[in-house]
Amino acid sequence: MATQSETIAAANQEAVRRIIAAEPVLIDVRPASEVIDDLDPQMILHAGPPIEWARMCGPMQGAVAGAIVLEGWAENLLAAADLAASGGITFRPNHDFDAVGPMTGMITCSMPVMVVENRAFGNRAYCTLNEGLGKVMRFGGNDTDVLARLEWLASTLGPALSDAVRARQNLPLKGLIARGLSMGDEMHQRNVGCTGLFLREIAPSLARNVGDAERLAEVLEFIAGNDQFFLNVAMAIGKAVMDPVRGIEASSIVTAMSRNGTEFGIRVSGLGDRWFTAPVEMPRGLYFPGFTEDDANPDMGDSTIIETMGLGGFAMAASPAVARFVGADSATAALDHTRDMMEITAGQNPEWTIAALDFAGVPTGIDICRVVETGIVPTINTGIAHREPGVGQVGAGIVRAPMACFTEALEAFVAELGIA
C-alpha cells in the first residue's frame, strides 16, 4: 500500500502530466453572452476571488462603473456607481465561469471574448481581447475614449477575428508560446514575439475575410501596434491548460492564483474550487514619469494564471529584456527567479524550454507543500495601476504571492487527507 507521501507525489505527477499534455487551440471570438454559460444580464465578472462593491479598490470600482455605462445600465459614471452600491449588479469571479481577465478583469455580456479549447481534455476557457496601451478599463479607466475603444472591439475587431479564426478552422497556440520563449517573451510583461507570431498566423485569413479595406487596415494596425495583444491569449491558454488539473484527489498543485486589488487567492487541485485568500501585496518595480509608489494600487488581475502554468515570472530567465523593466537588478537576477521557482514546482514542461538554462523546461506545477517547506513564494510579473479610479497604468514590476494563502491551504489539505 502506498504511503501518503507517495499518494500525493503520484497525484501531483498526474497534475503535471495534464498540464504538459494540454493542446490549447483558439477556435472563435464571440460576445461573452453567447459562449459563457449562466452569464446573466446585469452581471459583471471580475478578476480575483469573490468581492463585493464596498471592498473593491479604486481602479476596480472605476472599471465597474465604466462597464455599467458601456452596457447601458446607467447614463453616467455617478449613476453607475450608485447602481453598483445599491446592489443592482451581481458580481462574480471570472474563474467561476471558466474565464479570466487582466487587472480589473471586467467581463460583461457584450464584450467579445476569445474561446480557447483544450483539445486534449475538451474544456474551453474565455478571455477578453486586449484593449491596447494607455488609459484602459483593465487599469480602471472609464472615460469616453476608453468606452469608445471597447465599443470598437465589439463592433469591429471581435467580428473580424471571429471570421478569420473560423475560416482557418482554428489556430493552435502551444507552438506559438514555445517560439515566443525563444524570442525573449515570458508571456506576462513581454509578448512582443508572440504578438508578431499571432499576427503572422491570422493576417492572411483576415485579409481574405474582412471585405472592407479600411476596416482591415484598422484591425491589422491595432494588433501590430499593441505589444501586449498576446497577453490575453496567453491568459486564455492558461485557464484552458489549468482547469483539467482541478479536482485530482490528494494533489497539492495550485490550479489558480488571482487577485482583486484587495485580496490574493489561490485554488488547489485536491481541495476543489475553494479560495484561500490573504491581503494582496504591493508590487515593486519601475514607475512611469510623474508617478511613484505612493500612487500605486495593490496588485490585481487574473493574469497570474500565466505564472500558474509556468510562464511569466516563472520563465523570467527566457526574457532578460524584461528583467530591468519589472525591477530585477540584472539578467542574472532573472535566471535566479526561474531557478527559485523550480524549487516550488513538481516538474518541468519539456514543451516550453529556456535556452539560457540549457533548455530546461519551465517550472511547472506549483506545490503548496514545497512553498511552505522552502519559504519561497511565487514570483509574479505584473502591471501597476493607479490607486484612484479612472487614471490607468502607472508602472510595472514584480509582486510576491502572500505566504498566508499557502499555509492556510496546506492546513486544509492536511485536514482533507486526515494527516495527523
Do 195 and 316 reside in the same domain of the chain?
no
Asked if 266 and 40 count as a contact pair (C-beta separation under 8 A), the reply is no
Do 27 and 100 reside in the same domain of the chain?
yes
Using DSSP bridges, classify how beta strands 254-260 and 300-301 pair: parallel, antiparallel or unpaired: antiparallel
- pLDDT at residue 321, rounded to an integer: 80
Do 293 and 173 reside in the same domain of the chain?
no
Q: Which three cell numbers stand for residue 23?
A: 493542446
Do 267 and 328 reside in the same domain of the chain?
yes
User: Residue 207 pLDDT > 80, yes or no?
Assistant: yes
Do 305 and 376 reside in the same domain of the chain?
yes
Q: Residue 136 falls within a domain, yes or no? A: yes
Total domains present in the chain: 2
Confidence of residue 327 (pLDDT cuts 50, 70, 90): low
Range 399-413 burial, b when 16+ CB lie within 10 A, else e: bbbbeebbebbbebb
Grid cell 527567479 is found at 337
- pLDDT at residue 326, rounded to an integer: 58
- pLDDT at residue 180, rounded to an integer: 97
Grid cell 469616453 is found at 144
Query: CA-CA distance, 189 to 164, in Å (whole number)?
Result: 27
Do 133 and 260 reside in the same domain of the chain?
no
> Of the residues 194, 212, 237, which one is the last residue of a structural domain?
237
Do 87 and 111 reside in the same domain of the chain?
yes
Query: CA-CA distance, 233 to 227, in Å (whole number)?
Result: 12
Q: Which domain CATH number covers 405?
A: 3.90.1700.10
Q: Residue 3 falls within a domain, yes or no? A: no
Under 8 Å CB-to-CB from 141, ≥6 apart: which residues? Answer: 62, 63, 66, 135, 390, 391, 392
- pLDDT at residue 419, rounded to an integer: 79
Confidence of residue 1 (pLDDT cuts 50, 70, 90): low
Instruction: Convert the pLDDT of each residue in 214-231 to its tens digit.
Output: 999 999 999 999 999 999
Alpha carbon of 203 to those of 30, 55, 165: distances in Å?
Answer: 19, 43, 10
- pLDDT at residue 320, rounded to an integer: 83
Query: CA-CA distance, 368 to 252, in Å (whole number)?
Result: 6
User: Residue 397 pLDDT > 90, yes or no?
Assistant: no
> Of the residues 190, 213, 237, which one is the last residue of a structural domain?
237
Query: CA-CA distance, 19 to 244, in Å (whole number)?
Result: 8
User: Residue 24 pLDDT > 80, yes or no?
Assistant: yes
Q: Residue 333 falls within a domain, yes or no? A: yes
State percent of the chain over pLDDT 70: 98
> Of the residues 202, 237, 272, which one is the last residue of a structural domain?
237
Do 195 and 312 reside in the same domain of the chain?
no
Q: Residue 17 falls within a domain, yes or no? A: no
Give the lowest-confidence range in 46-55, 106-115, 278-287, 383-392.
Answer: 383-392
Helices 58-70 and 144-152, axial angle in degrees (round to 10): 60
Q: Residue 352 falls within a domain, yes or no? A: yes
Q: Which three cell numbers stand for residue 76?
A: 453616467
Q: Residue 1 falls within a domain, yes or no? A: no
Asked if 190 and 383 count as a contact pair (C-beta separation under 8 A), the reply is no
For residue 276, what are the domain limits?
Answer: 247-417
Q: Residue 12 falls within a domain, yes or no? A: no
